Chain A
Amino acid sequence: MIARRVLLVEDSVLITSALRVLLESNGWDTWVSPTLTDAIGAVSDFRPDVILVDLTLPDGDGLDILSALSSETPPPKVFVMTGHDDDATRDRCLSAGCDAVLIKPVPTRDLVELIAGAMA
């Protein structure tokens, strides 16, 4: 069985170390990109099923990853993580085309359930 792949785009080593453990212990191959530029390259190299992306990245807006997905078939699901728990941020992310907005810290059970649902 081919392992499903998750691209994790997040610049905090503390957060990625925790999420990598969570994702890998659920059997998903995980690629960590600390920057938007690295993540855009990883989309074509790694071909993720799910992208878990932080909204604020050192070299840009996490939503800009969406523009790199136009040629991907089928397009991966994109879940945006943010610390800003407000309607304006949620509306901006959803209208840009991401599949879900997750407020940090995302309860791990909810995150696993969401990714498993996207992989099904």
Chain B
Amino acid sequence: MERNDYRDGFESFLQEKADEYNLYPSDRVWSAIQQELHTPKKWPYFVITLVFLGLGIFSTIVEPANNQLAFRSPQAIKKLSESVFIKRKSTLTSTTNLLTTTRNFKLNSNKYSTAESIINHSAKTGTNDTTTLVDSKWNTTTAIKLNDAKSSSTLDDLSLIELFPARKMETIDATTFIEDEEIIQSNSEIAVTHNTTDSLQENKVELNKPAMLSSVLIQPYQSKKSKINWQIYVSPTVSYRNLRGSGTSTSSFMTQSLTLGTTNLNNVNNVVNHKPALGMELGAALVFNLTNKIRFKTGLQFNYNQYDIQAYNFTPELAPLSAGGLGHTEIKAISVHRSKNGISQTWLQNLHAMLAIPIGIEYTIVGNQNFSLNIASSFQPTYILKHEAYMLSTNLNNYAKENSLNRNFNLNASSEVFISMQKGGFKWSFGPQYRYQLLSSYKKEYPIVEHLKDFGFKIGMSKTLQ
């Protein structure tokens, strides 16, 4: 330490006494230091937990849909059909006292009665049924005769009910059939003859288009298509920032620099040398189909932004970080980095971890469900989980950290263009995106304004909720 002023014996006396005096700190000081230095930060675990939780929910929702897909395989369907009817056949034995019922079921392209409903109807209306089901696709024909004596109250015993307890007398969108089986043509009709008299009846079901049967049998258990999709996405990004503002005072360094004839060094952008670094974005979202082309989207998103700043190591000195003024105390932080003219060059890393709730809209420009080109934008209220950033001092000389000037909440806006395609039961989307932080990273007391920005390439996977 340099001593530029004369000091007499009084100062030496004070110095001597001060050096003699020792105080022993309590245990809490070391514990707190240890905790600060060696306790892992909690936010990464929080984020990881959140992501896994999202994936867990996602997979839980997707699981039943996958089961249904497996259920639609020809073998599974055939097996199911046989088991249903064999059981029914085994419970109904005789074929006496037939009642004839004829009823026409007209199934148009929008609504189709299910096999289940047909069987339900048969069981309810007749005591003896003969149901002929023809499936030309697999060349199977099943004829069932239902006995009057034992079938009058057998519906509840049917394995159909056991197999599909939640589905009774349902209707299905034709689009579902078309999408899944590609058998049924639009406007195709199925006439189901069901003659009814007051007496005993024979219940005979005939399908004018037997090929339809497989769909009819298969699809009763397909629910109405949901308007909500689950989506998870990840986006590697290149993070950067925009800086705006100027120094508030002219320091000796600034004076020195200005005398060199450089241009407007008070502008922060003339002093700072920074470069982008890799960041990322990770999220889970719910997408609501408003129309065929427009979707509303919201969810939870984790953003990680970082960039590097060129600096120079220097001995500790105080760096002013706020202007102070009426009612405000000027904030200074200890700095061991200078923006220029230090001992040795170094690169400082600024990083921000954020949790956001994106609220946005997606629009399909062109394409269909299998392949489409889309645009999207969102508005993202954001909470800053971690803000580890070196701030340029207001005299533009130093870099220092001062947490009290960081903003905890912020707003981001994002826009993207992406291609969406259906593959493997999932809808995949990928395309470039841009995110911009609308408010400064720092509070208004800090005169330099920083807006973070991220360029990324998003990869998303989505699935329709059941």
Chain B associates with chain A: no
Residues of chain A touching chain B, judged by Cβ–Cβ distance below 8 Å, are none
Q: Which residues of B contact A (CB under 8 A)?
A: none
